[in-house]
């Protein structure tokens, strides 16, 4: 992508801004409300936010050029992912960067809560020596219940084991084999009943909003202590206040709240058995620097190569696999696009067949690119790997994917097959040197063509002078030919020959018609990839 424009809507950091600046035009504009963001987004290809800016469905209505929304951090509740997906816009975050920092803050909150450290500090600085007042409780031997065993929760659980705590965890996506050493997986209700300390590390979504409510508190041990450094709204604050007042909950330590910033008159501010911090779980020098660098690099990678790292609404690609997979992504998309532009009838089905370890490392991502490439010429709305599967379903296009040996001549190969107007067509390609995509077969024609950019595809009778005739038309109109590849009919049949012409620019108006009028030309197509 050329002439890249990137909008940074929340403070990102100097290191990240420098990386972005090397890739394109960068604008820093913070403090935008919905209306301002909506008016600003048109013309930008990427927008980066932290937790302050809200990317709503309405704010995206005019963002026709937007390719990616980057969340510098973990939580994505300030982004309408469903709306972004509908527009074909990638949403990505940086889940690893702040995992240790946020986990360490949760441990710090737990320690502070257990030993009354903030309260003791405040009393001593106020001139009091209330040694007898601040009797705490040991962590060693206590049961720590970790709700959510993702990247942050796993670090917290491991730290809890290191503190000689009995660590149990609840996460419907994690089984015993996936848990950190020394951590026992239990049901949610069993965790509530057994834990002395409960710490929350789940994302905020429909299933987790209000997860810790009056019903949950009633199932907990008397005197339980709650640590919350996930996202506001997972704990029902009114129910927490009632549980603190009754003594059901002995104390709570909170870094996030239902509404931020926390109101000056909020009842939580006045409780001695509550530790509060202003959403600083990811606020360390190291995390701020790393999240800035990681987010910037991910945005640049997405815009320049099409590789999406840490995508929320796209198939996942492991960072280690990204360099070798990237050329196959663009190749697969272009092969599918070439098929449906040469044969523009009704598309009934698509099938992707993969060969080799490289392609198998990104099956779902390659399938999404195939669908996007095939459907983009047929759709009135932007089709990307984000919304391709949904659009295919709406259009009634069946999609299949296989992994097998297609051609033994190649270590890795992708084959796209399509049924169009009831006829079966196929196209295959590989990557040379981990960089150069090649089309090696097209409906039985064997060739070595580059399926990129502006193409002229010809089916012509193989007669002396036909290439010259085509070249004269192109030359007369000022269209330069960068490369030509010819393919003979399969098994020496008497069918037409195939020509793949790489052009420096698109055909001008009337040029394709002139080529079609050449006596030896049976069919000719202008293809844009």
Active site members: 231, 260, 279
Radius of gyration of the chain (CA): 29
Q: Is 151 helix (H, G, I), strand (E, B) or coil?
A: helix
Burial class (CB in 10 A: 0-12, 13-18, 19+), 317: buried
Count of other CB atoms within 10 angstroms of residue 328? 26
Contact 80, 38 (CB under 8 A): no
Which tokens belong to 210? 């209000």
Long-range Cβ pairs for the range 505-513 (8 Å, 24+): 505/454, 505/479, 505/480, 506/454, 507/454, 507/456, 507/477, 507/479, 508/477, 508/478, 508/479, 511/473, 511/474, 511/477, 511/479, 512/456
> What is d(CA 340, CA 308) in angstroms, rounded to the nearest whole number?
25
Contact 416, 350 (CB under 8 A): yes
Count of other CB atoms within 10 angstroms of residue 514? 18
> What is d(CA 335, CA 287) in angstroms, rounded to the nearest whole number?
41
Q: Which residue has the tokens 């399969």?
A: 490
From the list 491, 486, 492, the residue with the least C-alpha distance to 520 is 486
Which tokens belong to 247? 């003594």
The DSSP output letter for 518 is S
> What is d(CA 507, CA 341) in angstroms, rounded to the nearest whole number?
15
The DSSP output letter for 263 is P
Q: Using CA atoms in the order 406, 409, 413, 414, what is the torsion angle rounded to 10 degrees?
A: -50
Beta bridge partners of 351: 400, 417
Q: Is 227 helix (H, G, I), strand (E, B) or coil?
A: strand
> What is d(CA 454, CA 459) in angstroms, rounded to the nearest whole number?
17
> What is d(CA 384, CA 54) in angstroms, rounded to the nearest whole number?
23
> What is d(CA 526, CA 529) in angstroms, rounded to the nearest whole number?
10
- The rounded Cα 171 to chain-centroid distance in angstroms is 22
Contact 456, 515 (CB under 8 A): yes
């Amino acid at each position: 992508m050329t002439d890249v424009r990137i909008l940074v809507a929340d403070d990102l950091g100097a290191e990240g801004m420098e990386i972005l600046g090397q890739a394109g035009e960068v604008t820093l504009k913070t403090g935008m409300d919905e209306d301002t963001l909506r008016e600003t987004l048109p013309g930008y290809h990427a927008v980066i936010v932290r937790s302050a800016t809200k990317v709503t469905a309405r704010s995206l209505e005019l963002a026709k050029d937007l390719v990616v929304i980057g969340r510098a951090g973990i939580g994505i509740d300030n982004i309408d992912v469903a709306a972004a997906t509908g527009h074909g816009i990638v949403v990505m975050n940086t889940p690893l960067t702040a995992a240790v920092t946020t986990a360490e803050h949760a441990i710090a909150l737990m320690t502070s809560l257990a030993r009354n450290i903030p309260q003791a500090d405040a009393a001593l600085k106020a001139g009091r020596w209330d040694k007898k007042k601040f009797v705490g409780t040991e962590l060693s031997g206590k049961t720590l219940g970790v709700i959510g065993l993702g990247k942050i929760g796993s670090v917290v659980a491991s730290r809890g084991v290191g503190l000689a705590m009995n660590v149990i965890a609840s996460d419907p996506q994690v089984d015993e084999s996936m848990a950190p050493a020394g951590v026992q997986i239990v049901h949610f209700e069993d965790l509530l009943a057994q834990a002395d300390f409960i710490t929350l590390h789940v994302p905020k979504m429909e299933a987790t909003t209000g997860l810790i409510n009056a019903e949950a508190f009633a199932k907990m041990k008397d005197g339980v202590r709650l640590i919350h450094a996930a996202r506001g709204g997972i704990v029902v604050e009114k129910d927490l206040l009632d549980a603190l007042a009754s003594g059901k909950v002995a104390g709570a330590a909170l870094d996030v709240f239902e509404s931020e910033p926390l109101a000056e008159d909020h009842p939580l501010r006045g409780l001695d058995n509550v530790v509060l911090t202003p959403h600083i779980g990811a606020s360390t020098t190291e995390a701020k620097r790393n999240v800035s660098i990681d987010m910037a690099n991910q945005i640049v990678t997405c815009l320049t190569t099409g590789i999406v790292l840490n995508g929320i609404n796209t198939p996942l690609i492991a960072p280690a696999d990204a360099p070798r997979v990237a050329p196959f992504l663009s190749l697969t998309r272009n092969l599918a696009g070439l098929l449906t532009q040469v044969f523009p009838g009704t598309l009934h089905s698509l099938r992707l067949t993969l060969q080799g370890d490289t392609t198998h490392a990104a099956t779902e991502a390659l399938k999404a690119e195939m669908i996007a490439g095939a459907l983009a010429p047929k759709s009135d709305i932007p089709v990307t790997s984000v919304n391709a599967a949904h659009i295919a379903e709406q259009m009634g296009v069946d999609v299949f994917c296989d992994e097998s040996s297609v051609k033994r001549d190649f270590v890795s190969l992708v084959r796209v097959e399509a049924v169009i107007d009831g006829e079966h067509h196929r196209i295959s390609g590989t990557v040379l040197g981990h960089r150069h995509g090649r089309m090696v077969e097209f409906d039985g024609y064997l060739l070595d063509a580059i399926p990129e950019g502006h193409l002229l595809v010809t089916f012509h009778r193989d007669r002396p002078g036909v290439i010259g005739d085509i070249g004269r038309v192109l030359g007369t109109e000022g269209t330069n030919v960068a490369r030509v590849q010819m393919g003979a009919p399969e098994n020496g049949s008497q069918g037409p020959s195939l020509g793949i012409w790489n052009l420096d620019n698109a055909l001008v108006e009337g040029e394709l018609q002139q080529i079609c009028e050449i006596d030896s030309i049976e069919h000719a197509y202008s293809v844009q990839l």
